Structure 1
Amino acid sequence: MPGLYIGSTAPYSGKNTLCLGLGLKFRKEGLSVGYFKPVGAQAAKVGNAWGDLDAVAISEALGQDIAPDTATPVLVTQDFMHKVFAQGPCQDRTSDIIAAYKKISKGKDVTLVGGSGGFLTSGLYACLDGASVAKALDVPVVIVDRCTHEMNYDILLAIKEQMGDKMIGCVLSDVSGGYLEEVNSVLAPFLARRGVKVLGIIPHDRVLGAVSVNVLAERLGGKIISSAHKADVVAESFLIGTMQVENFLAYFRKHPKAAVIVGGDRSDLQLVAIEGRCACLILTGNLYPNDIILARAENAEVPIMVVREDTYSVARRMEALLARHKLRDPGKFQQASQLVAANLDVAAIRQGLGL
């Protein structure tokens, strides 16, 4: 039965979104769909077995009932890496991967294979990079490239050179509105001339990139001290409150659902953010607000979180967190499905798979 490896030029590029959206689309078209993530890095115990958190979430969303250790036969843990370094890089691990893939794909019309990290480099130390795994499974590939700031066209061309006709094409994800015209008129035609078919251009979606205040508190090691009952509110972006109030207001009006990171001593900016109903207020330096700020926040139902780190360090962690936030929220599944269905050339992928 046909399989499709979904890889990416770099980590956190949108592989999970594409796997989920494409899988749900195939199911809607009447196909039976399997999902497989041969190498996982988000190890966790699920029931009595160990598996990958992303693989478990996507398997459940696609209605696949299979043991977590079958869905992800290789888990990258500290113990795994120590064994690789001690035993040598290229021990034969593909036999377990192939056996698990055959079990999952049996009776399925198509099986989606989720990659880990960057297709050419992640896992190379253990001979488990995307190219090696895709070749071992003998499946075609689709590569996702996240176009937030720049496009990894060199990597796309390198993958095409290595995979040849096995590369069905690429998907350009998370493309901002200001970048769409250039991608459509310049970059996509360029790639097509070099043999890389652009199968879809998926625009940036604020809902998929949003993260709840609860998750922020957990990841940042913060303590919610106000309006904890609203901690399920999501932040779509973040703003750093280090400027004058007038300048801050101009930015804040453009990003009303932002988490505002501000020093615990900047009560002027704290009040502006609260009155503007920001998603949450993150006070840095382990400094607690005064009673007036707390009362205003409770009245406006704006969560306040206190963290130990300085403003710059928290902002860096927030940037990484929003970029890497996982698609494990069931509320986002339908959004991912609609986004992929509306912007992906599913017919071309089916043709490439012989479906």
Structure 2
Amino acid sequence: MTGLYVGSTAPFSGKNLFIAALGLHYKRKGLSVGYMKPVGASPAKDAATNALLDQDAAFIQQVLGLEQDPGQVTPVVVTQEFLAKAFASGCGDMMAQVGESFRTLSQNKDLMLVGGSGDLLNSGKYCGLEGTSVARVLGLKTLVVDRYGANGINYDAILAAKEQLGDSLAGCAFTDVPPEHLDEVRGFIQPFMERRGVPVLGMIPRDPFVGGIAIEDLAAGLDATVICSPQATDTIVEDVLIGTMQVENFMIHFQRRTHSAVVVGGDRSDIQLVALEGGCPCLILTGNLYPNGMILSRSETLERPIVVAKQDTYTAVRRIGHVWQQQKFRDQAKIAKGAELVASALDFPALERQLEM
């Protein structure tokens, strides 16, 4: 049995995407694939059994067509009760529980994929389950995923992982790399990392659809109300356009970004109508102001949801940015598209050499 631990330099970097892509790839090649997420931070109750589970792990099981015991897949689910006990009296030997679950799940498997939680170096340290320790105890090689951010690639965190993991670091992969920075990453960062003994196994370019977010998730993140066309709130929006300008200027920007949700004051019916007629997937009206009857009617006819937010436009846009940054890959269409991107960009032969497959 071959195993791989997938960790990241920070939360929300694309671990689930890589787990799904790798699992689907190797299942298509005929391998028996197992999955585990030792520590889960998204607790929920199973609808059928009322048992505690992790939402991310449940989604990945669904994507990979697995029916493993959720309690084995995620033996440690972090709840408020778990944290209270950990801080008051300690957690006990959680690693032994993780090891037992891993041995059970890996039976008769060709490949075992283990997903990290939070960031590889620090998350879970309070209970002895930080990613580097888990990978080491389970005897797994590690792939570190880093999402291109405001400051570029987090090479310091990757090198820190190399120091801790040594030769058991299989390599790193970069996600959400803007197309205009791909040459820079290939020309400077990749050679630097490889000189330091860290293979760069893939660079996943930024994709508007994969990086988009469902309207219903935007509404939930804003604590806002969907007042029209709720049946279409599973639509993915790729960006947000702020409609505070004059109509003529708005049209110039909107023509280049027609898959964007438009954030606009509830009293700006001129912008609202132009956006709806131009194919805008969603209006987000700020200031807790409702639209007039004509806008409501067009929204229903065109099946374009309208979301009413309590916040002013500036606050709503900041909140949307936060929600966008912390979104998780729990949408089947996005996972399918993202898996295609990973499959086309990841150096599978190099990864397989690292794993001795």
Q: TM-score, normalised by structure 2?
A: 0.94
1:251-310 CA-partner distances (Å, limit 9, x unpaired): 322221111111212223222222221110011121101223223333433211112122
CA 84–241 in structure 1, closer or farther in 2 if over 3 Å, else same: same
| Aligned-partner Cα distance in 2 for 1:39–1:184 | 33
What is the alpha-carbon distance in structure 2 between the residues aligned to residue 248 and residue 123 of structure 1?
47
Give deviations 1:101-122, integer Å, cap 9, x for gaps: 1111111011000001111111
The residue that corresponds to 2:344 in the other structure is: 342
Please name the residue that 1:15 is paired with. Answer: 15
Which of these residues, 311, 314, 321, is aligned with residue 312 of structure 1? 314
Q: Note if contact 1:38-1:71 (Cα within 8 Å) is conserved in structure 2.
A: yes
| CA contact 2:41–2:117 (8 Å) conserved in 1 | yes
Q: Which moved more, 1:214-223 or 1:63-72?
A: 214-223
Letter in 2 for 1:36: M
Change in Cα spacing, 1:153 to 1:247, as seen in structure 2 (3 Å) is farther
Partner of 1:328: 330
Spell out, residue by residue over 1:110-137, the C-alpha distance to the aligned partner (whole angstroms, 9 max, x if none): 1000001111111222222111211121
CA contact under 8 A between 1:209 and 1:323: conserved in structure 2?
no
CA distance in 2, matches of 1:333, 1:156: 25
Q: Distance in 2 between matches of 1:180 and 1:254?
A: 23
Give distance in 2, aligned partners of 1:153 and 1:247: 40
Residue of structure 1 equivalent to 2:5: 5
Partner of 2:69: 67
Contact persistence 1:141–1:167 (CA under 8 A): yes
Letter in 2 for 1:199: L
For the residues of structure 1 that align with 2:264 and 2:161, how far apart are their CA atoms?
43
Structure 2: stretches of 5+ with no match in the other structure: none
Residues 1:36 and 2:36 are matched in the alignment: yes
Q: Give a deviation string over 1:63-94, Cα, whole Å, max 9, x none.
A: 22111111100011111111111114x63210
Amino acid at match of 1:251: H
Specify the alignment match of 2:130 in structure 1: 129
Q: Give the SS at the match of 1:34.
A: strand
Residue of structure 1 equivalent to 2:291: 289
Structure 2 equivalent of residue 259 of structure 1 = 261
* Superposed CA RMSD: 1.6
Where do 5+ consecutive residues of structure 1 fail to align? Answer: none
Per mean C-alpha deviation after superposition, the further-off stretch among 71-80 and 288-297 is: 288-297
CA distance in 1, matches of 2:197, 2:127: 30
* Distance (Å, rounded) in 2 between the aligned partners of 1:207 and 1:285: 28
Give the alignment of 1:187-206 within 5 angstroms.
187-206=189-208
Contact 1:241 1:260 in 2 (8 A): yes
Give the aligned partner of residue 239 of structure 1.
241
2:214 alignment partner in structure 1:
212
Task: Single out whichever of 10-19 and 117-126 deviates more from structure 2.
Answer: 117-126
Q: Distance in 2 between matches of 1:312 and 1:135?
A: 46
Query: TM-score with structure 1 length normalisation?
Result: 0.95
Letter in 1 for 2:108: G
User: How far apart are 1:206 and its partner, in Å?
Assistant: 2.1
Aligned length: 354
Judge conservation of contact 1:240–1:260 (CA < 8 Å) in 2: yes
Tell me how far apart the structure 1 counterparts of residues 264 and 320 of structure 2 sit (CA, whole Å): 13
Alignment partner, residue 114 of structure 2: 113
Give the partner amino acid of 2:232. K
The 2-side partners of 1:280 and 1:13 are apart by: 26
Residue range with higher mean Cα deviation, 205-214 or 195-204:
205-214
Match of 1:275 in 2: 277
| C-alpha separation in 2, matches of 1:250 and 1:193 | 47
Q: Read off the aligned partner of 2:118 and give its amino acid letter.
A: G
Q: Which residue of 2 aligns with 1:302?
A: 304
Paired AA for residue 2 in structure 1: T
Task: Give, in whole Å, the separation in 1 of the partners of 2:278 and 2:178.
Answer: 25
